[in-house]
């Protein structure tokens, strides 16, 4: 499921945050965008997801699998977002939090069965009936990701999802996230401050530009292949 951004410009009355941005992310690949706070990285994700604030104008086009989603509301875009915070519902237990991401067409029994099967799949079945405040930070992070994936997004956006985790947990959760994206063959865009977050053999885009050539795959500012 590919994501194509074509000649995207995002501006407000005060400033232009993005000018003529174009990139393509293929199925199972991750485009990583690095840059300082306030440069517009999260605004770009909001534009793709359909959550852009009314103060901004967005020109250009956004396509998923060759179909434009630019005019669609957020709930029709099939774009998932993973944030810094896990955003689990404190009044629901773990399996209920997972079930929240499942389609409304499923019955309550089907949702519970699917949620419990997912927990078994990621070896967290023993926490199914625990509250979010009874499990570890790493477990909460995994549940948050799987809840997003259970909604069957065609594209997933990662908004600095590792920044609040300590170093050992950060490394293991990164590996978990990128494995899930690859296994599900979903196009992903990640914004981060830390080059350690960038997966191997992915495309890295520096924002703002360091005035180097772009690749043919991403047409904005500076890109490079991360093969470390």
Is residue 117 in a domain? no
**What mean pLDDT comes out for the span 52-61?**
93
Q: What would the pLDDT profile of 27-37 be if each residue is shown by its tens digit?
A: 999 999 988 77
Note whether residue 142 is domain-resident: no
pLDDT at res. 48 = 97
The pLDDT of residue 123 is: 93
Model confidence, pTM? 0.85
Q: Are 222 and 210 in contact (CB under 8 A)?
A: yes
| Confidence class for position 227, pLDDT limits 50, 70, 90 | low
Residue 220 has pLDDT above 60, yes or no: no
Rounded to an integer, the average pLDDT of 64-70 is 96
Question: Would residue 9 count as lying in a domain?
Answer: yes
Per-residue pLDDT at 1:
61
- Kindly report which listed range (76-80, 137-141, 190-194, 223-227) carries the lowest average pLDDT score: 223-227
- β-pairing, 57-64 with 218-219? unpaired
Query: What does the DSSP 8-state code read for residue 35?
Result: -
Residue 28 belongs to a domain: yes
Work out the percent of the chain whose per-residue pLDDT is above 70.
90
Average pLDDT, the chain: 88
Residue 53 belongs to some domain of the structure: yes
Residue 76 has pLDDT above 70, yes or no: yes
Number of neighbouring beta carbons within 10 Å of residue 32: 22
Q: Average the pLDDT over 76-86 and give the result.
A: 92
Distance CA 219, CA 185 (A): 23
The whole-angstrom separation of Cα 78 and Cα 36 is 28
Question: Is the pLDDT confidence value at 223 over 80?
Answer: no
Taking the alpha carbons of 170, 174, 175, 176 in that order, is the dihedral positive or negative? positive
**Higher pLDDT among residues 130 and 223, named by residue:** 130
Output the six-digit token pair for 166.
């300590």
Q: What is the CATH number of the domain that holds 52?
A: 3.40.50.300
The alpha carbon torsion through 30, 101, 116, 163 (nearest 10 deg) reads: 40
Q: Is residue 33 part of a domain?
A: yes
Number of neighbouring beta carbons within 10 Å of residue 64? 20
Would 102 be classed as within a structural domain? no
Give the pairing of strands 202-206 and 30-34: parallel
Q: Residue 185: which residues within 8 A CB-CB, separation 6 or more?
A: 1, 27, 28
Give the model confidence (pLDDT) of 149-208 as tens digits.
999 999 999 998 888 888 888 888 999 999 999 999 999 999 988 888 898 878 888 876
**Domain housing 174:** 3-88+153-226
What domain count does the chain have?
1
pLDDT class of 222 with cuts at 50, 70, 90 = very low
The pLDDT value given to residue 61: 97
The Cα–Cα gap between 227 and 54 comes to 39
Flag whether 101 is in a domain: no
């Amino acid at each position: 499921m590919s994501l194509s951004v074509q000649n995207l410009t995002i501006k407000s009355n005060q400033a232009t945050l993005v000018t003529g941005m174009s990139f393509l992310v293929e199925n199972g690949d991750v485009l990583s965008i690095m840059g300082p706070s306030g440069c517009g990285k999260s605004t770009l994700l909001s534009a793709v997801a359909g959550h852009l604030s009314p103060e901004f104008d967005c020109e250009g086009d956004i396509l998923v699998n060759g179909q434009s989603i630019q005019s669609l509301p957020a709930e029709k875009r099939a774009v998932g977002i993973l944030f810094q915070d896990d955003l689990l519902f404190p009044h629901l237990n773990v399996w209920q939090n997972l079930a929240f991401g499942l389609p409304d067409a499923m019955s309550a029994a089907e949702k519970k069965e699917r949620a419990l099967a997912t927990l078994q799949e990621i070896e967290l079945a023993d926490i199914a009936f625990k509250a979010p405040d009874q499990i570890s930070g790493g477990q909460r992070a995994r549940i948050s990701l799987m809840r997003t994936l259970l909604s069957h997004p065609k594209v997933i956006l990662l908004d600095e999802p590792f920044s609040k985790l300590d170093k050992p947990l950060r490394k293991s959760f990164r590996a978990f996230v990128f494995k899930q994206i690859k296994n599900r063959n979903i196009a992903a865009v990640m914004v981060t401050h830390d080059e350690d977050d960038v997966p191997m053999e992915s495309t890295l885009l520096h924002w703002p530009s360091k005035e180097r050539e772009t690749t043919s795959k991403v047409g904005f500012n500076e890109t490079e292949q991360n093969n470390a």
